[in-house]
Structure 1
């Protein structure tokens, strides 16, 4: 699995999400509202002022709405967020030659000690790889580069699609089952030519880090977004949750849907986000490690809600790799809140897991303001 890289200039950068309250729902009968389960009454936010911040990062943008305790300045919050994002880039961005992951990818064969942040995220990715039978795979860097979605940039228009021989050669350097970790030494084996790529979970991981940092600063109510991956904690001064609109596929018959992100994260993987077209076929950036090629299973988008932004990010991509049949079955079996949109001969068709459906609010109730 590989999802949106830390690209500086992709062919179609993922759309960003403008944080704030959705347009009020004029007619609840034509809209859907998702409300995650809550235990008790949410605590009051630490203040009454909402700070709105943002900036560039990871080839996209970040945004945040933050409610901190009295005396917490916008400058301090901006600096803290940027520090966390810089730390993630310094470790995990294959677009930065000096990053830890770039240094590992360029290292000769051998066993190499890694930092604790590197180890923790790679270990989590490997656990998800085991859980999803490789639908999450942090070893696909060679394939990401081969298909033009990595640091080397897009392939030549003269040779837009790799040959079978090129794919097979990259597959020999890929595969989560080939990666060996030495837990006692906190070290990773470089087989020689293997290129790690954790872009499919790094944005979600960054969202979690920023959220945790804000909470540690006393800003226990906030909404954080990086390139479309979101996480909300706490509520606003008016006791309303952080409302976000779920990204819709163009032409989808599904109604407009907003979700209350109360201690909840949301991630969407879509074939329209980064892709190229050749001979009438769309080649999305999400890669299937079992074939070495972009997924081609008619799933247009997958949205996952989860307490962890990193896991929401990973599962959204993993379910995309699994496809429109195995994906929903797997998501239902493990209790994920997931929504699928499939391209069919009848047009776009949506499907949702029971956990996702259970979050739907009664349309007879008053909507968010």
Structure 2
């Protein structure tokens, strides 16, 4: 489970990146620069004007930089973006009582049919759950709520942390292995009390949807950002890529890292983004489905670069759950470009996978 992208009335999580129109060559000498692999010369953008749009959605903010054909104005572009965001909320926001996920979570026991949109994301999340042995798990809504990161709101500071009995009761209605799916009927079995939660994958999914919609209306060069998850396509009129900066963990002595998001997405899961403190101990938002409790493995953040924002988002959460040893091992095994930051007595320590290290090249 990642930061909830749907919570209404909450402050947006700190951005994981800084967006820059341009990182001057003189400045880049002191940076680590990530250049994704590419074939040939990037095509020219469809226009010369960069439109900048932004707004609020899913309890956080969104921003888009796009270059479209001459007849595509900001009104039409904004309408297309907001239509995609509204569709994501209607399907996956547990904060909306009439959303598809809320209806399933409140349903009595039985088999319930779901929309093609809902099925598609759930199926993808379940496949990732199989791959990661449950480090991606869309069935942890009861645990997310119990620990104060869901629609019921934060736990009162006057309350103790959830008891073993409360955690066990939530675990009894959670777990990706317990969810039964009927592919032919596109149906899900509600066991009674199971609550789905897509907060570890929904922002990335929304980024992909907006990016695909912009491409469909002719804005083939763009940078989409929702709550810190990003995707860049094409290049800007000056042939520069969309440069973004990965936020450093507090106390890190490493140089800043900027990435060229050319046909690439980036997502970060960090223990500093949403958490609560009780009796001097910090409980981060990421829930380990195997224990029913927030992770305690000293992973401060994981940043993933992938062609799919949905997968980058999900993997960032999964690798956080896996921890500082199993996480890098899994990422390396599947060729994933990932940057891990672990909290140690000597301060934050970084580890990057070979796929990410291979992107460390001279700037364009």
Q: Does the pair score TM above 0.5?
A: yes
Structure 1 residues 160, 31: CA separation in 2 closer, same or farther (over 3 Å shift)? farther
The alignment's C-alpha RMSD in Å is: 1.3
Alpha-carbon spacing, 1:280–1:26, altered in 2? closer, same or farther (3 Å):
farther
Matched-pair contact (CA < 8 Å) for 1:11–1:276: no
Work out the CA distance in 2 between the residues paired with 1:97 and 1:266. Answer: 31
Contact 1:91–1:101 under 8 Å retained in 2: yes
Query: Closer, same or farther in 2 for the Cα pair 1:11/1:70, shift >3 Å?
Result: closer
Whether the 8 Å CA contact 1:25–1:31 is kept in 2: the answer is no
Partner SS state of residue 342, structure 2: strand
The aligned residue for residue 352 of structure 1 is 352
TM-superposition CA deviations, 1:68-119 (whole Å, max 9, x none) = 0111111000000000000000000001001000000000000000000000
The residue correspondences of 1:14-93 to structure 2 (distance < 5 A) are 14-15=14-15, 17=17, 19-24=19-24, 26-93=26-93
Number of equivalences: 364
Matched with 1:338 is 338
| Closer, same or farther: CA 341–307 of 1 in aligned 2, 3 Å | same
- Tell me how far apart the structure 1 counterparts of residues 144 and 129 of structure 2 sit (CA, whole Å): 17
Return 5+ residue gaps in structure 2 as ranges. Answer: none
CA contact (8 A) 1:12 1:274 kept: no
Aligned to 1:211: 211
In the alignment, structure 1 segments of 5+ residues that lack a partner are none
Secondary structure, in 3 states, of the residue corresponding to 2:125?
helix
Q: Structure 1 residues 203 and 196 mapped into 2: Cα distance closer, same or farther (>3 Å)?
A: same
Structure 1 Cα separation of the partners of residues 52 and 2 of structure 2:
31
From the superposition, tell whether residues 17 and 82 of structure 1 become closer, same or farther in structure 2 (CA, over 3 Å).
farther
Q: Is the 8 A contact 1:12 1:275 kept in 2?
A: no
Where 1:324 maps in the other structure, the secondary structure is: helix
Q: How much does 1:127 deviate? A: 0.2
Please give the alpha-carbon distance, in whole angstroms, between the structure 2 residues aligned to 1:28 and 1:213: 32
Q: After alignment, is 3-12 or 242-251 more displaced?
A: 3-12
Conserved 8 A contact 2:46-2:218: yes
Quote the residue 2:256 is aligned against.
Answer: 256
Taking the aligned partners of 2:298 and 2:230, their CA distance within structure 1 comes to 25
| Matched position secondary structure for 1:177 | coil
Post-superposition offset of 1:18: 5.2
Q: Which residue of 1 aligns with 2:306?
A: 306
CA offsets, 1:252-290, max 9 Å, x none?
122111000000000000000000111221100000000
Task: Spell out the pairing of 1:121-140 with structure 2 (5 A cutoff).
Answer: 121-140=121-140
C-alpha distance in structure 2 between counterparts of 1:272 and 1:23, whole Å: 26
TM-score (ref. length: structure 1): 0.96
Deviation of 1:247 (Å): 1.4
Structure 1: 4+ residue segments shifted above 4 A? none
Say if 1:129 and 1:167 are closer, same or farther in 2 by CA, change over 3 A. same
- The answer to whether the 8 A contact 1:11-1:275 is kept is no
For the 8 Å contact 1:300–1:343, the answer to whether it is kept is: yes
Is 1:329 aligned to residue 329 of structure 2?
Answer: yes
Give TM-score scaled by structure 2 length: 0.97
Deviations 1:198-249 (A, max 9, x none): 1110000000000000000011000000000000000001111100001111
